[in-house]
Amino acid sequence: MSTSAERLKLLIFPAIDADRLQRITAISPRLTVVNAETADLARTEIADADAFYGKITPELLSAAGQLRWIQSPTASLEHYLFPELIAHPATLTNMRGLFSDVIADHVLGYILMFARNLHLYRDAQWQRRWAPVGDANAKTDFVSSPGIETPIDRAHRHLSDCTMGVVGVGAIGAEIAHRGAAFGMSVLGVDPHPVTVPGIIEEAWPLDRLPELLRASDFVVIAAPHTPSSEGLFEAEMIAHMRPDSFLINIGRGAIVDLAALTEALQQNRIAGAALDVVETEPLPESHPLWTMPNVLITPHVAAASPRVPQRHLTTLLENVRRFVAGEELRNAVTKEEWC
């Protein structure tokens, strides 16, 4: 990347706060950091910049004369990449790997709610209604219970009897798999790349086995990024492979699931329920029927929300700046062509 005596220039645009800027400039006396407050200044300064952090545009990239590294401030790249950037020789890195445990916690929250009917009990609580799912009129019999299996028992799932299918076994998907396995679940995975989760997923299946995974899973978790190959992946025909007693969870990207097809499957009871942190159109329109379905959980794109994430974001940025100055391999390098 660079020699020990070489001076390097990092352009930041949009400008960042003083605290983060100070941490970056302290990395090396060889590094000149320009924190551009305006687009005009960014266009001027990028001419001799070696590295860039922030939102790159075609106009900025065309003015770059020696750019070798671009750091995206986000993990997702569907709204970041453009043809000139894909073709540019500069290394692109992103912020993947910051959210894995946070999002995995969110997913297990969904699963536990569905498995134990907590969403339905919360609704019943608002109505001050004592009504066990499976038999709303049942009264506890302390003599025969729990020696006899009841409809109430059958309405509450035992997670170690369930299978989780993970679509996209990257950093987030792997952590979700770990969480599921910790609850005793069997875990399957599909991914376009040959990946493993040691001790949990021996080898992720290729994408052409996705229908098989859907048929085998009680809980299907979409943890894939939005790429041309994943867009619209869950359309009506694909959703039809799911079982009537299975749940679909999407914490990947809304564009992966055809919302009309999912809504129809739910309305016709072809799947048991859905948990959505992301949807095709955000925010979900107030008139959409998903809002009022008791078997649907909707959260407003907050699965990655945590005080830990900004801390990790800065740590990743600082580490990559340090590596760039030292001429070391950068973290989270992206194969740009996979996103086009």
Active-site positions read 253, 282, 301
Of all helices (H) and strands (E), which one includes residue 42? helix 39-45
What span, in angstroms and rounded, lies between the C-alpha atoms of 9 and 31? Answer: 6
8-state DSSP, 141: -
Cβ proximity of 8 and 2 under 8 Å: yes
In terms of Cα–Cα distance, which of 337, 339, 338, 331 is closest to 93? Answer: 331
Determine the residue type at 314.
L
What span, in angstroms and rounded, lies between the C-alpha atoms of 270 and 264? Answer: 8
What span, in angstroms and rounded, lies between the C-alpha atoms of 3 and 233? Answer: 45
DSSP-assigned beta bridge partners for residue 197 = 201
Cβ proximity of 230 and 256 under 8 Å: yes
